[in-house]
Amino acid sequence: MRTVDPEQHARKRALILQAAAREFAVHGVDGTSTASVCRRAGIGSGTLFHYFPTKRALFHALFSDDLPRNAAARERALAAARPGDGLDLLVDHLLTDLADPLVPGLLAAALFQANRDEEFAVMVATDEALTRDALTTLLERAAADGCRPAFPPERLAGWILRLSDACYLAAGEEGFDPVAQTAELRRIVAGLVGRPAG
């Protein structure tokens, strides 16, 4: 019986995904042809469709691969000793890829795809809901710790997510500084959470 080398398979898969990410970021889902992905990855179309059943699945994989990482970040944040530390951890995680030049394009493509691809929308919405829940829990703990939040925890959690989206929207502009942006977001969040000590 012929046994598969899973490492080799994973490596090729990753290579294809990398090529696909570049294409999708620049041209979007409908705008990239499978042929262009193949060209960039240096493979034939047969190979591409051996690894991914459809172009859509290729795009989905680009994001579903990140889900475990997000789950881990949520767990770490919820396990933090103080709710404020957990919030910082989670906010930092939300901005992890801020410096990646592909991300603005990919985010735009993803936002758009979520409006018209049910399966993709559910995947993204589920992950976002989990993160929102984690944020809400942390904010409730913070409130119990003496913070004076500007809004109810759940609303505030929504605003934090929106603020992080806003950061990625700004990431395409020239002269964008991810570090400064992250620092400003933390200050804004701190203000909204109403931490007693600056």
Partner DNA sequence: GCATTATTAGAGCACGCACTCTAGAGTGCG
Partner DNA sequence: CGCACTCTAGAGTGCGTGCTCTAATAATGC
Are 136 and 153 in contact by the 8 Å Cβ rule? The answer is yes
User: CB neighbours of 150 closer than 8 A, spacing ≥ 6?
Assistant: 156, 191, 192, 194
Which entry of DNA, its own copies, none binds 8, CB below 5 to 8 A by partner kind?
DNA
- List of residues 6+ apart from 91 with CB closer than 8 A: 160, 164, 185, 186, 189
184 binds, among DNA, its own copies, none (CB under 5 to 8 A by kind): its own copies
Neighbours of 83 (CB within 10 A): 22
Residue of the chain from 15, 80, 130, 192 that contacts its own copies (CB under 8 A) = 192
Binding map of its own copies across residues 4-43, x = CB under 8 A, - = no contact: ---------------------xxxx-xx------------
Tell whether residue 178 is a contact of its own copies (CB under 8 A).
Answer: no
Toward its own copies, which CB reaches closer, 14 or 112? Answer: 112
Output 30 or 145, the one with its CB closest to its own copies: 30
CB contact set of 115 (below 8 Å; sequence gap of 6+): 121
Using CB under 8 A as the binding rule, the residues of this chain from 105 to 134 that contact its own copies are: 105, 108-109, 111-112, 114-116
Q: Which of 14, 150, 154, 179 binds its own copies (CB under 8 A)?
A: 150
Give buried/exposed letters for 17-28 (b at 16+ CB in 10 A, else e). bebbbbbbbeeb
Residues interacting with its own copies, by CB under 8 A? 25-28, 30-31, 104-105, 108-109, 111-112, 114-116, 150-151, 155, 158-159, 162-163, 165-167, 169-170, 172, 184, 187-188, 191-192
